[in-house]
Structure 1
Amino acid sequence: MRVVAVLALPGVVGFDLMVPCVVFGAASDRVRRYEVRVCAAPGAGSTTRRYGGLTFRAPFGLDGLDDADLVVVPGYDLRIPEPPAALDALRRTARRATVASICTGAFALAAAGLLDGLRATTHWQYAALLKERHPRVEVAADALYLDNGSLLTSAGVAAGLDLCLYLVGRDHGAAVAAETARTVVMPLHRDGGQAQYVAYTPPADATAIAPLLDRLRARLGEPLTLASMAAAGGMSVRSLQRRFADQVGSSPLQWLLRARIDRARQLLETTDLPIDRVAAEVGFGSPVTLRHHFGRVVGVAPTAYRATFQGK
């Protein structure tokens, strides 16, 4: 039987905390495969944790990590410093056991120095902050979870379920993982990465070429070229490329591809247009071209994306 220690840091996210308890508990419904412990650092004030209207007390202190086979660090409030004793315990545990994180729990692993030189992920909203605070970590903002052997990280909320099911499969095989997935009523594996869940917000183009970008967005269905884009802005192709590099941070054609993908996402989420119509509306011309670019950027096919966000 494997021991799973769930380390509740100050400001722990309640849902993230429950994910490993539920998944590893479900994997032990018929056969006792896991012992799950919720642990906290007494040095953080007490082992009592509060989240929203919920108050709970962790039955184990940091000594609960001493013989754990797996330590899972749920997400927590990044405004609250990690207790040094908890970081020390993570460093000690990582020498002999597997350590995993859910959502912002990756920040604790990074603060302990465990992710230096490794690819890691977290919730897409905090990916840039993780990179800023811990530049030695290679942040992969589009992944649902990443496996570095004995160190694993996952994105926000539901990705923690994905990660824990993956770990059950790694420990006990696909059949046990599939049984556990049925118990918690979720798919054993989700296609794609985080890119499909990043909320689309129209860019705030506080630049000199903002009017041009608006005009181009209104013409996405047309066969735009560098020459026609430059003509729409009343400038040369060379000037267009320079201004995009300076003010947008990408080439005109890279920006155009992203704008078309973003518009396709909106249409897939909010309309019942056939895929060929969506392709035509955003300027890809054919469903094949739409599927190619959409899958490369978003990580799933247009039909799968629509099914996720419209339930169709």
Structure 2
Amino acid sequence: MQHVAILVSEPVPMFELGCALEVFSLPKKDRPYWYKCDLVSFDGSRLTSSTGVTLEVPEISELLHYDILIIPGWSTQNNKLKLSLAEQIVAFHSLNKPIISFCSGAFLIAQLGLLNHCKATTHWRYAELFQQRFPLVEYVDNVLYTHQDNVWCSAGSAAALDLSIEIVRQDFGHEIANDIARRLVISPHRSGGQAQFVETPVPAKHQRFSKTLDWAINKLNSPLLVDDLAKHASMSRRSFDRHFKSSVGMSPKEWLNQQRVRLARQILESDHLAMEELAARVGFDNTVTLRFNFHKFVGISPSEYQQQFFKG
């Protein structure tokens, strides 16, 4: 059982805190070995939230006995840090323990220099300020979250859930992560490797795309082409490409390859297949194309991924 510290300071971000508590702290009757969580602070025991709610939080002076540190958010304006807090987080990082920030929580980690020369992200409305204050950080936009050197950063508020589900998936496997996502009524499929692009954001006004994307996902094991998607959507290829990228944020081909990689990851976690068979199962025409796209979206090879995450 991993012991998790959820570190808060004024003003406490209630939504992001709720995300952390819902995923990591809420008791799971069918998961006896779930995380053990403590809500903690270095800034006194009585804190006010961003919505004016007062919280009683245990004040601590030490973090090193915890296994995971979650920072749901942090002030983007206050540059002052307690020396004891700074020393504890830096020491925690030196032990290679996971540090997870939601939204503005990246400001705290970056202020301590732990993101220098690393990929990181935060909420888009803080992007300009973040880059101005921390020029040594490799800021990444258009992502849900980043992961480098055992430090995770999520983008805007709801991306905290995407990152949380990914942490659960790495700790407990794809099936349990899907169960948690289903209970939260969110998609379990917006996770990935180090570059977490939004995979299938479908605005309600584009119902044609919603049906086409669902149709395509169910046919990933066939040699599906972008022309087939355009035909299913009853659009010309040129018009389909233009409207798809405008609505989804990527080209149809990139989205299709990303979905094939997502399916390959699920198979690799539960079954041992030859690369040729895996490529065919997810609709890639050969193993070279499979390996290229897998590394592009996940950051490692299919075989390396299976070594880490196979649950069979």
Smaller-chain TM-score bracket: 0.5 to 0.7
Structure exhibiting the larger radius of gyration computed from Cα positions: 1
Q: Name the residue aligned to 1:34.
A: 35
Q: Name the residue aligned to 1:47.
A: 45
* 2:193 is aligned with 1:189: no
CA–CA distance in structure 2, aligned partners of residues 163 and 6 of structure 1: 15
Q: Which amino acid aligns with 2:240?
A: P
Q: What secondary structure is seen at the aligned counterpart in 2 of 1:286?
A: helix
Q: Which amino acid aligns with 1:32?
A: Y
Q: What secondary structure is seen at the aligned counterpart in 2 of 1:108?
A: helix
Q: Name the residue aligned to 1:308.
A: none
| 8 Å Cα contact 2:75/2:107 also seen in 1 | no
- 1:1-312 to structure 2, matched below 5 A, reads 1-26=1-26, 28-30=28-30, 31-42=32-43, 46-51=44-49, 52-63=51-62, 65-84=63-82, 85-96=84-95, 97-190=97-190, 193=197, 285-291=238-244, 295-296=249-250
Q: Which amino acid aligns with 2:70?
A: V
Q: What secondary structure is seen at the aligned counterpart in 1 of 2:24?
A: helix
Q: Which amino acid aligns with 1:114?
A: L
Q: Name the residue aligned to 1:306.
A: none
Q: Which amino acid aligns with 2:187?
A: P
After superposition, the Cα gap between the structure-2 partners of 1:149 and 1:173, relative to the gap in structure 1 and judged at 3 Å, is farther
Q: Which amino acid aligns with 1:189?
A: H
Q: TM-score, normalised by structure 2?
A: 0.63
> Percent of pairs identical after alignment?
27
How many aligned positions are there? 226
Aligned Cα RMSD in Å?
3.3
After superposition, the Cα gap between the structure-2 partners of 1:137 and 1:186, relative to the gap in structure 1 and judged at 3 Å, is same
Offset at 1:149? 4.2
| 8 Å Cα contact 1:72/1:100 also seen in 2 | yes
Post-superposition Cα deviations, 1:171-222, rounded to whole Å, max 9, x if no partner, equal 111122112222222221337747999xxxxxxxxxxxxxxxxxxxxxxxxx
Q: TM-score, normalised by structure 1?
A: 0.63
After superposition, the Cα gap between the structure-2 partners of 1:189 and 1:27, relative to the gap in structure 1 and judged at 3 Å, is farther
Q: What secondary structure is seen at the aligned counterpart in 1 of 2:250?
A: helix
Q: Name the residue aligned to 1:260.
A: none
Offset at 1:269? 6.8
Uncovered stretches (5+) of structure 2, i.e. residues with no partner: 213-229, 257-312
Q: Which amino acid aligns with 1:154?
A: S
Offset at 1:32? 3.1
After superposition, the Cα gap between the structure-2 partners of 1:62 and 1:6, relative to the gap in structure 1 and judged at 3 Å, is farther
Q: Which amino acid aligns with 2:159?
A: A
Offset at 1:6? 0.6
Q: Which amino acid aligns with 1:296?
A: M
Post-superposition Cα deviations, 1:274-305, rounded to whole Å, max 9, x if no partner, equal 999xx9xxxx952134435764379869xxxx
Q: Name the residue aligned to 1:259.
A: none
Q: What secondary structure is seen at the aligned counterpart in 1 of 2:74?
A: coil
After superposition, the Cα gap between the structure-2 partners of 1:25 and 1:179, relative to the gap in structure 1 and judged at 3 Å, is farther
After superposition, the Cα gap between the structure-2 partners of 1:100 and 1:285, relative to the gap in structure 1 and judged at 3 Å, is same
After superposition, the Cα gap between the structure-2 partners of 1:36 and 1:112, relative to the gap in structure 1 and judged at 3 Å, is same
